[in-house]
Amino acid sequence: MKNLALVFIGFLIFSCSTQTVSVDFDRSQDFSKINDYKIEMAENSMSELDINRIQTAIQNELSTKSMQLNPNSENKIIIRPEEYLSKSQNSSVGIGVGSGSGNFGTSIGVGIPITKKKLNQTYLVSLYNQSGNLVWDGRLEIQMPADGSSNMLESSVEKGVQKLFKKYPPKK
């Protein structure tokens, strides 16, 4: 029973956030030649904590793919982050009354929208080879409740980065 409760809590945590990914790459690039990289951040207004989360998640994921962080590498990953708050209507509560007989019917309905602020983070992750050519491009979009915990955000970023690099290195 205890395990069932933990699974349910885990489901609730992950169901509160969504990650959307899209990837494009240069089909002529031999990705087996790229085994190290350095990370650069584009101008942004995100907190250092958010920046550290994405960098750590990328480093952890790429290390499982035999790529190592090297500050002197000629291959570079540039991260362009964006963040904004939005209001999202998740659901509505409806109250309805109705009656009818034969060919005649009446009804009354009231809808009460429930809106909640959402934190939207977008990361454009671009990989450039030694020649400075863009060879891989990925976009990660994360949406979660604005009042979510830092553990929830970290988990969402890690899960999103895993999805982003799931098929890296790309097959020809």
Strand partners, 95: 110
Tens of pLDDT along 19-74?
999 999 999 999 999 999 999 999 888 899 999 999 999 999 999 999 999 999 99
More confidently predicted of 103 and 47: 47
User: Residue range 99-108: average pLDDT?
Assistant: 59
Secondary structure of residue 9 in the 3-state scheme: helix
User: Per-residue confidence at 9, pLDDT binned at 50, 70, 90?
Assistant: very low
User: Residue range 3-32: average pLDDT?
Assistant: 71
DSSP, res 17:
-
pLDDT of residue 70: 97
Q: What does the buried/exposed string (b/e) look like for 52-76 if buried means 16 or more CB atoms within 10 Å of the residue's CB?
A: ebbbebbbebbeeeebeeeeebebe
Domain extents in the chain:
19-101+111-164
Q: Does domain 19-101+111-164 have CATH number 3.30.160.670?
A: yes
pLDDT of residue 13: 43
More confidently predicted of 30 and 5: 30
Judged against a pLDDT cut of 90, whether residue 87 lies above it is answered with no
pLDDT of residue 12: 42
Candidates 120, 48, 45, 51; CA nearest to 79 is 51
Q: How many Cβ atoms sit within 10 Å of the Cβ of residue 136?
A: 21
Strand partners, 88: 116
The answer to whether residues 71 and 33 touch, using CB atoms and an 8 Å cutoff, is no
Secondary structure of residue 166 in the 3-state scheme: coil
H/E segment holding residue 69 = strand 68-69
- Tell me, yes or no, if the pTM score tops 0.95: no
User: Residue range 77-84: average pLDDT?
Assistant: 94
Secondary structure of residue 93 in the 3-state scheme: strand
State CA 136 to chain mean position distance: 17
Percentage, residues of the chain above pLDDT 90: 59
Helix 150-164 / helix 2-15 crossing angle, nearest 10 deg: 70
User: Per-residue confidence at 17, pLDDT binned at 50, 70, 90?
Assistant: confident
More confidently predicted of 26 and 90: 26
